[in-house]
C-alpha cells in the first residue's frame, strides 16, 4: 500500500488560530489531569458528579491526580484522600463547587484548605473535593470609613498568607494589630480559628480585628458581612472552624507601626516570679509596657528556640548566666517594644523616660533587631 503526500496552502488569517491551538495542545500534554470531560477516566466521583463538574466550565482548575497532597496536614494523624482538588480563581468558582455539593444526591463533601496547619484533618474531604484556597490571590491596602471614623485596613483573599499581608501593609508603614507567631498561615485559616499571639493581650486575637468578610455560604451564596450587616453570620464564621461559610476575602484592621523593634528575653527559674511579672506587664498602660508579651517553657537538653533566632539550649543559657537552680526547666518571657529611631536613646533608660522598657525581675537578654522572616520557616511547612 502506498501513500501520497499532498500539500495544503494555509490562509494567513488562520495562522494565529493554529498557533494558539498548538500552544493549547502543548499545555494539555503538560497538564493532562487538569482537563475535565464527562468521561474523564480518572474522576473517581460518581458519574453524575463527574458530568456536573465537566459542565461547570472550570477547565484547567481541577485535578484528579496527585490528590494525596490534599490528605496531609500539620497534625499527620488523618490522611483522608479526596477525589478531586479545585483551584479557584475567584469566589464564583467556589460558589459553583459549593452548589454542586449542596444539590448533589450523593452526599458529596467539600473542604477548604489553606496552608494545611490543621491538626485533625479539618481541611480534608474523604472521596470528596478539596478547594485549594492558595490559588485565590489579592491584597489591597485602603481606608474604611470617612473623617475621624476612618480606619486603615488591608483587604486580603482567604488564600493569602499572613507574611505577604504584612509585607504589603509595611509598604505603607502599617501592619495588622494582631498576628500569629507563625506567619506562613492563610488568612481564611486563622480567622476560622482565632489567631492568637503575644499581641492578643492588647488587641485581642485576629478575629477581633476584622472589619468585614466576604464569604460563600453552604448554599453557595456570596455574602458580605460585618458587625453591622449579617452580624450573626459574621460572628459565626469568625472562629467557626469553617462550618458556617468559606472566607473568600477579609478586611483586616491596620495600625501605624514604628520601623524598629527591641527584642527582650527574660529567663526565670521561679515560676511564681515568672507569672507575677507576666501579669504585671500585661496590666501596664500602653506607653509603659511592651507591645508583645508571650511566655514559654525551656526544657533542659532540648532545642528550646524553635525559631532559631538565637540558637541555644538550657545548658547554653546556664553557661552564659548564673542561675542557682537544678530545676529541669526555665521559664521565658519573650517581649518586644516598637520604636522610632529618634526614641532609640530612651528605650530601657530609666523610670522617668516615657518610652522606657519596664523592668523585669530576671536575667535578661536583649537584642535591637528582630528578624521578621525566619530562615528555618520551611521546616514548619506541611
Which residues carry out catalysis? Answer: 117, 181, 294
Alpha-carbon 344 to chain mean position: 32
CA quadruple 148, 153, 155, 161: dihedral, nearest 10: -170
Contacts of 117 (CB under 8 A, 6+ apart): 73, 74, 182, 185, 189, 382
The CA distances from residue 220 to 101, 244, 245, in Å, are 9, 11, 9
Q: What is d(CA 350, CA 339) in angstroms, rounded to the nearest whole number?
A: 16
C-alpha cell at 57: 466550565
| Alpha carbon distance 349, 208 (integer Å) | 34
Q: Which of 136, 127, 111 is nearest to 64 (CA)?
A: 127
CA dist., res. 204 & res. 195, Å (int): 9
Local structure of residue 161 (DSSP, 8 states): B
- Helices (H) and strands (E) counted in the chain, each on its own, are 9, 14
Compute CA distances 236 → 171, 204, 294, whole Å: 32, 17, 28
- State how far the alpha carbon of 67 is from the alpha carbons of 95, 143, 308, 353, in Å: 21, 40, 33, 58
**Quick check: 209 and 203 in contact, CB under 8 A?**
yes
Pairing label, strands 129-132, 84-86:
parallel
Q: State in Å, rounded, how far the first CA of the chain is from the last one.
A: 60
Phi-psi region of 254 (alpha: psi -120 to 50; beta: other; left: phi over 0): beta
Report how far Cα 228 is from the mean position of its chain's Cα atoms. 26
Amino acid at each position: 500500500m502506498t501513500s501520497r503526500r499532498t500539500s495544503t496552502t494555509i490562509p494567513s488569517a488562520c495562522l494565529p488560530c493554529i498557533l494558539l491551538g498548538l500552544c493549547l495542545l502543548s499545555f494539555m500534554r503538560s497538564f493532562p489531569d487538569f482537563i475535565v470531560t464527562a468521561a474523564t477516566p480518572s474522576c473517581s466521583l460518581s458519574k453524575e458528579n463527574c458530568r456536573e463538574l465537566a459542565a461547570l466550565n472550570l477547565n484547567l482548575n481541577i485535578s484528579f491526580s496527585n490528590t494525596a497532597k490534599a490528605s496531609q496536614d500539620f497534625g499527620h494523624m488523618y490522611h483522608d484522600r479526596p477525589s478531586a482538588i479545585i483551584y479557584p480563581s475567584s469566589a464564583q468558582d467556589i460558589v459553583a463547587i459549593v452548589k454542586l455539593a449542596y444539590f448533589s444526591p450523593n452526599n458529596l463533601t467539600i473542604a477548604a484548605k489553606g496552608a494545611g496547619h490543621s491538626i485533625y484533618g479539618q481541611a480534608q474531604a474523604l472521596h470528596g473535593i478539596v478547594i485549594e484556597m492558595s490559588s485565590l490571590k489579592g491584597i489591597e491596602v485602603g481606608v474604611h470609613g470617612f473623617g475621624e471614623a476612618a480606619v486603615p485596613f488591608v483587604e486580603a483573599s482567604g488564600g493569602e498568607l499572613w507574611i505577604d499581608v504584612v509585607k504589603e501593609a509595611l509598604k505603607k508603614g502599617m501592619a495588622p494589630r494582631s498576628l500569629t507567631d507563625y506567619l506562613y498561615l492563610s488568612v481564611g485559616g486563622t480567622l476560622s480559628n482565632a489567631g492568637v499571639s503575644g499581641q492578643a493581650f492588647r488587641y485581642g486575637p485576629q478575629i477581633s480585628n476584622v472589619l468585614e468578610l466576604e464569604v460563600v455560604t453552604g448554599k453557595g451564596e456570596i455574602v458580605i458581612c460585618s458587625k453591622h450587616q449579617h452580624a450573626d453570620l459574621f460572628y459565626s464564621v469568625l472562629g467557626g472552624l469553617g462550618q458556617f461559610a468559606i472566607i473568600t476575602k477579609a478586611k483586616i484592621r491596620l495600625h501605624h507601626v514604628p520601623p524598629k523593634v527591641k527584642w527582650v528575653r527574660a529567663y526565670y527559674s521561679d515560676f511564681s516570679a515568672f507569672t507575677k511579672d507576666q501579669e504585671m506587664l500585661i496590666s501596664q498602660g500602653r506607653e509603659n509596657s511592651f507591645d508583645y508579651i508571650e511566655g514559654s517553657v525551656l526544657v533542659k537538653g532540648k532545642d528550646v528556640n524553635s525559631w532559631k533566632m538565637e540558637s541555644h539550649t538550657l545548658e547554653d543559657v546556664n553557661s552564659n548566666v548564673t542561675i542557682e537552680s537544678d530545676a529541669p526547666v526555665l521559664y521565658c518571657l519573650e517581649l518586644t517594644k516598637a520604636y522610632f529611631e529618634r526614641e532609640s536613646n530612651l528605650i530601657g533608660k530609666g523610670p522617668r523616660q516615657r518610652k522606657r522598657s519596664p523592668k523585669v525581675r530576671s536575667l535578661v537578654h536583649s537584642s535591637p533587631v528582630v528578624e521578621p522572616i525566619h530562615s528555618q520557616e520551611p521546616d514548619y511547612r506541611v
